[in-house]
Amino acid sequence: MSDLDSQVPYWDAAAATKTFTHPLHLPWLDGISRRAAILDYGCGYGRTMKKLKQHGFDNLTGVDTSRAMISRACRLHPTMRFAVLDAPPALPCPDAGFDAVLLFAVLTCIPGDEAQHRLITELNHILKLGGILYISDLLLQDDERNRSRYGRHADHYGIYGVFETGDGAVCRHHPREWFSTLLAEFQTVDTRTVTVPTMNGHESTGIQVLARKPTSA
């Protein structure tokens, strides 16, 4: 069972109540055709896809491991294309089938290094040469509340930054340098630091990374 699989019951239960807030930085998409094939991996209830559609992108696909999240997405956005991801990270998509992939607040739901690497490798396969990977996730926080819970769970999970929330999720915050390691096969185009209200009502520091798949091996 993958890290994402193991959290499906939590996200199914939370699907009706959680609100996601990672911002979409549209200037990073200025060079992409409005007809480009874009995948929102871990799309939740379709919030980011709605924003993309509002700005003219019309070839959008959203996938998520949570059947309840996809049901909510289909109710909110009945004309958009969503699918339940039954076997992460493997996707029912052709290799080199997408011009861009969005990965918003997904890595925070994947505690393990190996599982994160597997996901990035799979996304690399489905991206076209020169395609972009846009990541938005959370950094290690330096406040006492977060440092305390990182410390409490470090021995159990073997990674400082992994913790359990009070309502049953297992989450991960990342050192900034981790993204360079994770994206070693990509060319980093830009990064930005953002402030993100979390789904449980706290304010956290996040990072957004725009990376490109090289145009040749």
Containing structural domain, residue 188: 3-212
What three-state secondary structure class fits 193?
A: strand
pTM of the model: 0.94
Specify if 41 maps to a domain: yes
Residue-wise pLDDT tens for the chain (217 aa)?
Answer: 456 667 899 999 988 888 899 999 999 999 999 999 999 999 999 999 999 999 999 999 999 999 999 999 999 999 999 999 886 666 767 677 899 999 999 999 999 999 999 999 999 999 999 999 999 999 999 999 999 999 999 999 999 999 999 888 999 999 999 999 999 999 999 999 999 988 777 889 999 999 999 997 6
The candidate with the shortest Cα–Cα distance to 67, out of 49, 45, 93, is: 45
DSSP letter for 24, please: P
Q: Is the peptide bond before 89 cis (omega within 30 degrees of 0)?
A: yes
Specify if 217 maps to a domain: no
CATH at 189 = 3.40.50.150
Res 198: pLDDT = 80
Number of structural domains in the chain? 1
Determine the Cα–Cα distance for residues 175 and 178; give it in Å rounded to an integer: 6
Single-letter amino acid code for the residue at 142: D
Specify if 180 maps to a domain: yes
- Cα Rg for the chain, rounded, in angstroms? 16
Determine the Cα–Cα distance for residues 44 and 131; give it in Å rounded to an integer: 23
Determine the Cα–Cα distance for residues 21 and 47; give it in Å rounded to an integer: 9
